[in-house]
Every structure is written in structure tokens, then in C-alpha cells.
Amino acid sequence: MNTWIVTGGAGFIGCNFARLALARTDARIVVLDKLTYAGHMASLADVADHERFHFVKADIADREAVEQIFREHRPRALLNFAAETHVDRSIDGPAAFIETNLVGTFELLEAARRHVARMPEEERPGFRFLHVSTDEVYGSLGPTGAFSETTPYEPNSPYSASKAGADHLVRAYYATYGLPALVTNCSNNYGPYQYPEKLLPLMILNAAAGEPLPIYGDGGNVRDWLYVEDHCEGILLALERGAPGAKYNLGGGAERTNLEMVDALCAHLERALPAADNPALGRAGHTSYLALKTFVADRPGHDRRYAIDASKAQRDLGWKPRHDLDSGLETTVRWYLEHRDWCETVQADTYRRERLGLAASE
């Protein structure tokens, strides 16, 4: 059977991709995840019993574990979603980001190189190593322009620097060893199953609870927003049609300041859960979600603007986003309001681990 290893498949983008791959392909999906604070089996509950789904709890930086998984499952493809991703956490403690994002990618590349060497020669060209990265590796833009696949890397946080290093490793393994590898760089994702510390779920859940909506600096930082299912469809096309050694930028073509995004979320919340009908807002002494906006000190090295030029992916892969920002936000707001039990479950699990000092693999 055609088997794909999906690392980080219990995280936000990875679980959405695993779900899409099971629905759109005949591949057997082997999710490899360490189950850190942002990776939870609750994100895979609806596919856990699927006949083509298999889960392995392991660390991508664990050489022996990764080698065993390759030997046991003999994949035709590996898609690397596994990453520490929150910029604030990388500023507070960069070591985990270097270990997972850089060392972990190295171990995956080495295991893939050994795996391809063991494959029959005629099957080797069909193997793919697809590394999922971010637009943050390119640094910060001025008021105009957009990141293309040839934009020089200028990462400004420990998180983006660790992802940039991983991207370079993937490119080097293609150039040096001929490993059939490619890279995708995406803009800010949003949608279901995102860990609640991220901007959109945090704002939705805080607003519903009548709690402050913290906005960094003046709220003028610009991001390009991409609905997660659209991103996953782009990755699937890159896997099927992308050229080894290539990289593809995947963006939503929806630039907004953080302040504009919060205002848009408040408008959607008003339609889904009117402020007049929300007792939590009344208890906080407010009659409008907009009144919850609170400006806080900016974080160090906060990139001002990102924007993606996705024309190469549109031309070479035939990909384009299917969701506009308004419809994507409407779906996202309703999903988090209807799945507050999922949010409570993953937050409680994270709290339990941090409180007890458990290792991520325990």
C-alpha cells in the first residue's frame, strides 16, 4: 500500500492534512507525533479508527525511533509538519526550537536518505520528502512587495531562524545527495484545530468569555491569511505535481493588519453570538466585543509585514485558495464556538503536563 509518514500530524496543520489525505487519496497515513503542548490526540479523534490511519508517538529528533518507523512502514513519501512554531515561546526558550526544527529535520533527512538507498532502484524516483515551512524565514517586508521563492532569507526570531536552517538542509540534501525533496512556505494559517494560544482562536475564545483581546503594539503588523484546508490542498498538489528540488510559496492573498483581523472577528462573533445574548460580556461590563480590545507592549523583533507571491504554485501546481477571508473567518468563528470542549481538553492537557513537569513524550 502507498504509505505516507506525516510528522507533526497531531498538530494544527498536520491534523488537517491527515484528514484531507484520508478523504482525497488512497494513501495509508502514518502520523508520527511527539504530542507536545500543541499536539493532541483529540485533534485526530474523528479519524483515529480509520482503516488507513496509524499513529506512532515519537520524537523526530530520536534517530533510532525514526529509523525504526521508516523500516517498518517503508513510506513512499514523508511530509514534515513537525515544528515548534510559537514565536513568543521561541524568545523565552529557543533550545526546543533548535532541537525539533533543525536537529529533527536533519534526522528525518538522514533516515529518508538511508530509506531511499534501500529501495529498489526503479522505485527511488517516486519517493518524496516534502518539508512544510513558513513565510517568516524571509524576514520583514516594507509597505510594498511580496515574498517570492527567490527572496533572500532574513529570519528575525529564534523560531524563524530554526525553520530557515531546516529549509537550507532540505535544499542541501537534494543538491548533494539527490534526495527527492521539496519545500513549501506558507503564510499565516487559520481554521479548525489550531492551538488556542494563537491569535485567532485566542481572540475568539477570549471574546466569548468576556476577557481582554490583547493586541501587540499598535496592531499595525500585516499578515497574509490562508485558510488551513486551502493550504493542505496546496501541499497535496505539491506532493503530487511538484518538482524535486523546488520550493513553492502558498499564500491566501488576504493581507490584513492584526487590528483589522480582530475587528473582523468581533463582527463575525456579533453575528454568531450577539453581544446582547452573551452574559459573560455583560458581567465584564461591556456591550460590545470591540470594547474588549487591549493594546499591550510589542514583542521583540516583531516583523512588520508579510505577503506571499503564490504565482508559481498557481502556475506550476494549478493551486489557488478556495476560501476568501470572510467565508473562512465565518467558518472558523463558528467552529471554535461549537468546539469549546476541544479547546478545554487540549488546554487542560497542556496545563497538566506543565504543572507536573512531564516530558513531552510522557
Helix axes 258-272, 199-208, angle to 10 degrees: 40
The CA distance from 167 to 269, in Å, is 38
- Cell numbers for 286: 461591556
* Catalytic residue ranges: 135-136, 159
Q: Which three cell numbers stand for residue 125?
A: 524516483
**The C-alpha cell that represents 138 in the structure block:** 524571509
How far apart, in whole angstroms, are the C-alpha atoms of residue 124 and residue 183? 19
Query: With contact defined as beta carbons under 8 Å apart, do 212 and 206 qualify?
Result: yes
Amino acid present at 117: A
CA dihedral 28, 32, 37, 41 (to 10 degrees): 40
Which pairs with CB-CB distance under 8 Å and at least 24 residues apart come from 325-331?
325/225, 325/252, 325/254, 325/256, 325/264, 326/264, 328/190, 328/191, 328/225, 328/227, 329/190, 329/264, 329/265, 329/268, 330/268, 330/271, 330/272, 331/191, 331/227
Q: Looking at this protein, which amino acid is placed at residue 314?
A: Q
